[in-house]
Structure formats: C-alpha cells, structure tokens
Amino acid sequence: MMAGLGLRRLASPVTANVLAAVAVLTVAAVIWLEVLIHEGNLGQDIGNLIIFMSFGAVGVVVARAQPRNPVGWLLLAGALALALSSAGGEYAVLVYRLRHESLPLGPVAVLVDLLWAPGIVTFGLIVLLFPDGRLTRGWRRVMWAYLAVAVCWPVSIYTVA
C-alpha cells in the first residue's frame, strides 16, 4: 500500500515538469557538444532531437493531465532516454575519438550512450498500452512476452559494453 502511495506522489505534474526541464537541458547539451565536435551532420542530429522532444512534449501533456496514465510517462521516459543517449554519444566521441581524455566521466558517457535501447523498448509498451494505459486480458500475455524479450536486449547490450 505504501509503495503505491509513493508512486502516486511521484507521478505528479511537478515530476513531469522536472523531467521536461531535464530533457530540454539535455537537448541543449547535445547541440552544444555537436557544435564543439564539428563531426557528423548537425542538421540530422537536430532533426532527431526535434522528433524526441515532440514525443516528450506529448508525454508531458499527458502526464500532467492524467498522471495515472502510463502512456504519458512512457513517452516522456523514451524521449528522455533517447536525448540522454545522444548526449552520451557526443560526449564519448569528444573523450575517446577526439582524445580529450582529461574530461571526466568518459566510461559513464559510453553507458549513457546505450540508453537508446531502453528508449526504444518504451515505444513498444506505448503501442500496447495506447490510448488509456490499460491492457485487456488477452494483451497481458503479449506484454509479458514483449517484456521478456525487451529486457534481454538492453541487458545484452550493456553486458557487451
């Protein structure tokens, strides 16, 4: 009972706002790192970030309006994971490819870069839970099968890293 109460308090408009602020700051960091690196295609990276943040914006709206609906939180979490993955990837390039070894947290950046896998997993859950965040009895087995496979995929990626 207490755990459910804690989750209800955590699933609030304030939490949605905080996560949205973290996402916006992460996007700003990705753009700054991309400009610093001068590698890759800045236009493509900004396009990807716009897509991530579009999902995140919808997630914030849904999470604020209906805090008990997991679809909004999953949209927000997926967008944040993909944005953090971009930031981690750019930072890892700066540390390892461009030889700025004096920068701290290089190994952490490599692990954060791999957040794309859990980020993608959230979108499968969104499809299963859309629109009201509930599963019918027949879809519960599908969700558990999906989760069994979906958990193995990121775990194997992190194991290799």
The predicted model gives 129-150 an average pLDDT of 89
- 95 and 106 in contact (C-beta within 8 Å)? yes
pLDDT digits (tens, 9 = 90+) for 60-114: 999 999 999 999 999 999 999 999 999 999 999 999 988 888 889 989 999 999 9
Residue 26: both structure tokens together: 């992460």
Residue 59: both structure tokens together: 């997630």
Q: Which is it for the CA torsion 151, 153, 159, 161, positive or negative?
A: negative
**DSSP character for 96?**
I
Helices of type H across 38-69: 42-65
pLDDT band at 6 (very low <50, low <70, confident <90, very high): low
Q: How far apart are CA 124 and CA 157, in angstroms?
A: 18
DSSP letters for 117-133? HHHHHHHHHHHHHTTTT
Exposed, middle or buried, 59 (CB in 10 Å: 0-12/13-18/19+)? buried
Residue 127 phi/psi, 5-degree rounding, is: -60, -40
Given this model, what pLDDT does residue 40 score?
A: 65
